[in-house]
Amino acid sequence: DAKTTQPTSMDCAEGRAANLPCNHSTISGNEYVYWYRQIHSQGPQYIIHGLKNNETNEMASLIITEDRKSSTLILPHATLRDTAVYYCIVRVAENRDDKIIFGKGTRLHILP
């Protein structure tokens, strides 16, 4: 049970902003939202994470709604190298150790 819902696939034109939505309506108050991506034939790569405030780094921005039931990952200027599967993950806390549970993700195609 990945606890998140994402569209199966999306297309975005090169140079445009790619906005990837994620629903996590059952998120708990102490759970973070993480985004990873997996480019073909490579291991998953960390992108960004947040708790309730919007976050930005050199790769992307993360917008979390006020009720924290959904979020959007924004790639501001998508390039062909951003074609990948993007995973939205809510951390599951058990005792002192957390596990990352990957769902199906969104397959993002950047179109030339």
Partner 1 sequence: DAGVIQSPRHEVTEMGQEVTLRCKPISGHDYLFWYRQTMMRGLELLIYFNNNVPIDDSGMPEDRFSAKMPNASFSTLKIQPSEPRDSAVYFCASSKKRALSTDTQYFGPGTRLTVL
Q: Which of 1, 42, 67, 81 binds partner 1 (CB under 8 A)?
A: 42
Residues 6+ apart with CB under 8 A from 85: 37, 38, 105, 106, 107, 108
CA atoms within 13 A on the CB side of 80: 2
CA atoms within 13 A on the CB side of 103: 23
Minimum CB distance to partner 1 smaller for 69 or for 104: 104
* Binding residues for partner 1 restricted to 54-93, rule: CB under 8 A: 87, 91, 93
* Binding residues for partner 1 restricted to 1-40, rule: CB under 8 A: 30-32, 34, 38
Which parts of this chain interact with partner 1 (CB under 8 A)?
Answer: 30-32, 34, 38, 41-46, 49, 87, 91, 93, 96-105
